[in-house]
Structure 1
Amino acid sequence: MLLAPLNKAASDDVGRLAGLLAEAADREGLLDVAYRTIDSPLGELLLAATDRGVVRVAFSVEGHDAVLQELAQRISPRILLAPARLDAAARELGEYFAGKRRSFDLPLDLSLSRGFRLSVLHHLPDIAYGHTASYAQVAAAAGNPKAVRAVGSACATNPLPLIVPCHRVVRSDGSLGQYLGGTDAKRTLLDMEAA
């Protein structure tokens, strides 16, 4: 059976109903993870939040469907497109990309990181906008100067890139190193912050 495409009015009705469903699910405590996407200079970003705060920022190269599946497995299968919960995150990221914000004032849910990786994430916001730190410097700040490779692993698995600025961590020789969003994205962010 072939389905006819929705006309504009029907599409608006579906969108309005989806919004009402998201509001009701949130109000009734049935929404464990809300998500939305936003456009950015780095491509489309997926934002996800629990009731504790932003839990995930994902680049399109990660595969947004795969990220949602991981959230369903690690946090809860009760995930819904519910943009309102992420309005503040979308606004602050927009301000950041416009050069009007240097740090974020968002509640964060760091439940996707543990142990030394979590310790590293707590130290990354100490790297000031427009500055960088080496993996070795971050390892020392996190309390284990020999854990340079573990810092790299923590940055590679950072569930909140941009908001928790792992892009500011570079190799000791000043070269960029790897980045979850790709080396070009890391260079773009560092150039934007240096301007």
Structure 2
Amino acid sequence: MKRSLLAIVIGAGLLGGCVRVRFEPETKQQQTDASALQSKDMRSQWAARLQKETTGLKLRSTKTLVDSVTVQYLRYGDLVAERWRAGNQGQPQPMTEADVRAMVAKGTETQEPLFRAYEEMFEYALEQLKLSREVDDSTVALLTNYGNHLYDTYSAVFFPTGAVEQYENKLYQLGQNGRDLSEELDRVIRVYR
């Protein structure tokens, strides 16, 4: 009996070493579900973080959120433009807007919950800052404009229009506008502690 049990334990151990365990999601639905779970965690951590922060830190955190997300969106946009140009090479007809949008949608469909989470995190922070009544109207307006920049960047990157050159120009303009708004916010929020 002991030998049988020992053989089973050894056999299971050897078999366990041969079995490949996969931790990453395999299907699109599993990937989307994983993104949804991650976005839920991000939102709850963000809310908990903001509850502990002073007004000045909330402003900086919110600005940093928009800074980092828009930079990532623009980097992705650069990849889209690169693939768009590569897709046009040697082709009698350039890729259409519909082709490029389909390419982008296919590459990002499982990430939609994260994209929504970023927007919801910004909106939550903005609402908390408004409710605090510690931030003047001009700062709230500037932060709101910066949030609109986030939405504009998302739309431009993930829903391309025009030719690839127009797309690249739009990305460049958004990058410039974002830097300008970010620098202006840096100057304005220095007075908050």
TM-score by length of 2: 0.26
Bigger RCO of structures 1 and 2 (CA < 8 A, at least 6 apart): 2
Flag the structure with higher strand content: 1
TM-score by length of 1: 0.26
Decide which structure has the larger Cα Rg and report it: 2
Flag the structure with higher helix content: 2
